[in-house]
Amino acid sequence: MILALIFGLYIFILAAFLGYQVISKVPQLLHTPLMAFTNAISGISLVASIVIAGACESTVSTLLGTVAVAAASINVIGGFIITDRMLKMFKKKQAPPPTPAGVAKT
């Protein structure tokens, strides 16, 4: 039991440290997509929901598991679509804006 706890904490601490290093480098510009993104990947709790729903151990747990699968997959599917929609919008300045050169000069 203690071993499982320590093993889990190992992974948690390493992941948290790595996450901290990487995430603090995400520019303010991308903070909203970052939230949508981490939301989507934390939807990986879908895997736990899937195991509960699929194990069919009791009616209660199967129902709870199925609702959990639905809730988690809303996050995964919706989250990835939204993140992609947002990231698609971030563009650097394209070749001069579509105003014809003549108009720009007054």
Minimum CB distance to other proteins, residue 48 (Å): 5
For residue 50, give the amino acid letter: I
Which residues within the stretch 20-79 sit at the binding site for other proteins (CB under 8 A)?
20, 22-58, 60-62, 64-79
The site that binds other proteins (CB under 8 A) totals a number of residues, namely 88
Q: Does 19 bind other proteins (CB under 8 A)?
A: yes
C-alpha–C-alpha distance, residues 57 and 59, integer Å = 7
Minimum CB distance to other proteins, residue 21 (Å): 10
C-alpha–C-alpha distance, residues 15 and 44, integer Å = 15
Q: Does 93 bind other proteins (CB under 8 A)?
A: yes
Minimum CB distance to other proteins, residue 85 (Å): 7
Q: Does 92 bind other proteins (CB under 8 A)?
A: yes
Q: Say if residues 86 and 32 touch (Cβ distance below 8 Å).
A: yes
C-alpha–C-alpha distance, residues 67 and 74, integer Å = 11
DSSP 92: P
Q: Does 97 bind other proteins (CB under 8 A)?
A: yes
Residue 2: strand, helix, or coil: helix
Minimum CB distance to other proteins, residue 100 (Å): 10
